[in-house]
Amino acid sequence: MCLYRFTSPMTVPLDSVLPRSRTIIFLSFSLVSILLFRAYVLTRRYWKIGQITILHELPKLGKPRQGGRLIDGTVVIAGGSIAGLLTAQICSTHFTRVLIVEPDTMLSTSATPFEEPGAPATASEGKNRKIFNPRPRVMQYTSGHNFQVLTLWALKELFPDIEVEALKVDPQAIVHADSKVYIGNKHLKPPLAHYKGDLPKHLNVGRPTYETLLRRLVKRDCDNVEFFSGFVTGYQLDGKAGPQGTGASRIESVTIRSKDGLETIEPAILLVDCTGSAQAGLKWITNSTNPCKIAKDVYNPKICYTTCIFDVEPSLMDKLQIPGGYANARTIFTRNSHPRMKHDPRSLYIIKREHNTLHVACGGYDVFDRPKCINDIRTVIAKFAGPDPVPAYVYQLLDILEDHCEESAAYLDARCAPFSFVKYHGVADQLPNNFIAIGDSLMILNPIRGQGCIKAMIGAATLNGLLRSCKPVSNLLSSGVSLPENFGKRFWESQNKRTYSFWTTTKAADYNWDTTIPVEGESLKDGAFVRWYNRTLLDVAFKNEDVAATLYDITMLITPACYAIRPGIAIRVLWMGLKNYLGLEL
């Protein structure tokens, strides 16, 4: 009898199943780990973007307060310029009353001279006409301004019809954000391929137009915003203080002096310093019953520039051989000094503005060029170091201006005051919990980078996000309500996270020039690594369009600045730095 060992064809030996099971388990575990890590990275990135930018705040701007009920109280805003107007719009959606106190009488009445936004006040005196600055407290009022893409994104949330209103002033008030930038003698091309030929748009108007447009829209849309001509001279505390007289002090009322010298006391639930370069908040705190010492960093890169303004009949430029034609141009040419060319601190900007005007701005670090005619502008260009980067159409444009527009030209000289940063965030526990500062009243930056106006927008958006998340508390000393005790501290911390990099990167760049007077206790060697990284990043961007696109987005503030140190870019920068060091690239 034969015994057969039966083996089912479906049976698999155990020793072959176990390794396969381990492999599947390992692969499954690896896949889950990768997915979880990626989810963590994305979550972390989203959180970080919310911490250091206002991109997540944009959808909340201009929206009614949750529940629809406004906080009962008056917000006093000292200063009615750009920061004050943006802050007023934000506060109008959260509080029952907003009072803007502004020294310039014309800004607090309906009889504003800017019924045509942006129209300059002029006085013709034959050759080289004079343009009077109607805002003497704002040195750059008649100077060129640049607005990042983020500005327009935020404005569209605050005022949904901003594009329509801007285009009423000038058909080219909203254009694709191409600044025609040359760094030294190299053209930093816009990332057209990255955006498939359709660059994001930005607001491209002068300061008078932007500010006047904001004021009109605030007056039109915000019924609870009032204007008063005068000064905020101080405040009164409610008498309650935290441990050791710090931490929980609260402003109960504000002293306002009219233009006639009469003083009134205005109860206030929030006081906002938007006084710009006056930085009046420092004086109020110093003179209060609960003063504290606030650090203030100051440095001076000795920025000087001249803005040359020409009235240009558009038909004169019909033969100008500029790509796309003069009629479709907005920014004609931009040339910034290259950080490697330390003997060449000059910059040049040519921008077409509303009302058929053209601005040519020349300036730089401790330069003494003061153009008073077209030939002087040519002399400035001739001083640029290296191969001439200026396109032929720029020389052609200067020839046309010389032949037809020089008689009516205006030349406005300006010397920037030292730049400063008031470090309120460092003593937040010692400040009244309902006092904040926004815009230049907090930080004055080098205007070459055009970050002044967007800094005010960031502060206003930060305030909006904080107000939407906070609930007022009952005030035991009155029948009303007040803001939470940690309101001020939370604001200072959040705003500082979003604006501090402006100060550090700009200061580091300005320390590149030997003529800069540094912050007390610092030297021009400070920030050396930041300067090295940024100039090497430029070298990479000239050769790599993906890196150039990231740099473009960072410049337009629609991507966090920390993206410049992401691994893919950082490796390229380090490799380029090594090649530069070995003399293989420069």
SS (H, E, C) 60-96: HCCCCCCCCCCEEEEEEEECCCHHHHHHHHHHHCCEE
Q: Is the pLDDT of residue 4 over 50?
A: no
- Residue 75, CB half-sphere, CA atoms under 13 Å: how many? 31
Alpha carbon distance 314, 311 (integer Å): 9
Cα of 339 vs its chain's centroid, Å = 22
Alpha carbon distance 501, 235 (integer Å): 31
The predicted model gives 430-456 an average pLDDT of: 94
Give residues with Cβ within 8 angstroms of 481, minimum separation 6.
71, 72, 73, 269, 472, 473, 474, 475
Alpha carbon distance 346, 343 (integer Å): 9
Whole-number pLDDT of residue 79: 94
Q: pTM of the entire structure?
A: 0.89
| Residue 475: count of CB within 10 angstroms of its CB | 17
Q: Is the pLDDT of residue 476 over 70?
A: no
Percent of the chain whose pLDDT exceeds 90: 68
Whole-number pLDDT of residue 129: 62
Of the pLDDT bands very low, low, confident and very high (cuts 50, 70, 90), residue 127 is: low
Give residues with Cβ within 8 angstroms of 283, minimum separation 6.
234
Of the pLDDT bands very low, low, confident and very high (cuts 50, 70, 90), residue 112 is: very low
Whole-number pLDDT of residue 470: 87
The predicted model gives 121-127 an average pLDDT of: 45
Whole-number pLDDT of residue 506: 96
Per-residue pLDDT of 198-227, as tens digits, reads 999 999 999 889 999 999 999 999 999 999
Kind plus residue range of the DSSP H or E element containing 284: helix 280-286
The per-residue pLDDT of the chain, averaged, comes to 88
Whole-number pLDDT of residue 387: 80
Q: Is the pLDDT of residue 27 over 60?
A: yes
Alpha carbon distance 186, 386 (integer Å): 10
Cα of 445 vs its chain's centroid, Å = 10
- Residue 567, CB half-sphere, CA atoms under 13 Å: how many? 0
The predicted model gives 324-343 an average pLDDT of: 90
| Residue 63: count of CB within 10 angstroms of its CB | 12
CA distances from 5 to 2, 8, 9, 72, 425 (A): 10, 10, 13, 92, 85
Q: Is the pLDDT of residue 247 over 70?
A: no
Listed range (97-106, 197-206, 432-441) with the worst mean pLDDT = 97-106
Domain 71-121+214-299+418-511 part of CATH 1.20.1250.20: no
Whole-number pLDDT of residue 270: 97
Whole-number pLDDT of residue 125: 44
Supply the CATH classification number for the domain 171-204+303-415: 3.30.9
The answer to whether 352 touches 395, Cβ cutoff 8 Å, is no
Alpha carbon distance 545, 191 (integer Å): 6
Per-residue pLDDT of 337-357, as tens digits, reads 988 888 889 999 999 998 899
Whole-number pLDDT of residue 463: 97
Q: Is the pLDDT of residue 137 over 80?
A: no
The predicted model gives 132-148 an average pLDDT of: 73
Q: Is the pLDDT of residue 119 over 60?
A: no
Per-residue pLDDT of 507-524, as tens digits, reads 999 999 999 999 999 999
Q: Is the pLDDT of residue 142 over 90?
A: no
Give the range with max mean pLDDT: 123-127, 140-144, 541-545.
Answer: 541-545
Please give the structure tokens belonging to residue 101.
Answer: 């106190």
CA distances from 231 to 82, 111, 235, 243, 263 (A): 17, 20, 12, 32, 9
The answer to whether 477 touches 239, Cβ cutoff 8 Å, is yes
Positive or negative, the CA dihedral 219, 225, 228, 231 is negative
Of the pLDDT bands very low, low, confident and very high (cuts 50, 70, 90), residue 474 is: confident
The predicted model gives 13-27 an average pLDDT of: 69
Whole-number pLDDT of residue 492: 97
For helices 149-158 and 162-169, the axis angle rounded to 10 degrees is 120
Q: Is the pLDDT of residue 118 over 50?
A: no
Alpha carbon distance 192, 198 (integer Å): 7
The full DSSP string for 495-553 is HHHHHHHHHHHHHHHHTTSTT-BPPTT--TTTTHHHHHHHHHHHHHHHH-HHHHHHHHH
Alpha carbon distance 303, 309 (integer Å): 19
Of the pLDDT bands very low, low, confident and very high (cuts 50, 70, 90), residue 13 is: low
The full DSSP string for 389-451 is ---HHHHHHHHHHHHHTGGG-EEEEEEPPPEEEE-GGGGGGGS-TTEEE-GGGTEE--GGG--
Whole-number pLDDT of residue 245: 44
Kind plus residue range of the DSSP H or E element containing 578: helix 567-581
Whole-number pLDDT of residue 363: 92
Residue closest to 215 by CA, chosen among 106, 139, 137 = 106
Alpha carbon distance 293, 110 (integer Å): 40
Number of H helices, E strands in the chain: 13, 23
Q: Where in the chain is the domain with CATH 3.50.50.60?
A: 71-121+214-299+418-511
The predicted model gives 91-115 an average pLDDT of: 75
- What pairing do the DSSP bridges indicate for beta strands 296-299 and 346-353? unpaired
Positive or negative, the CA dihedral 215, 216, 222, 226 is positive
Q: Is the pLDDT of residue 39 over 80?
A: yes
Q: Where in the chain is the domain with CATH 3.30.9?
A: 171-204+303-415
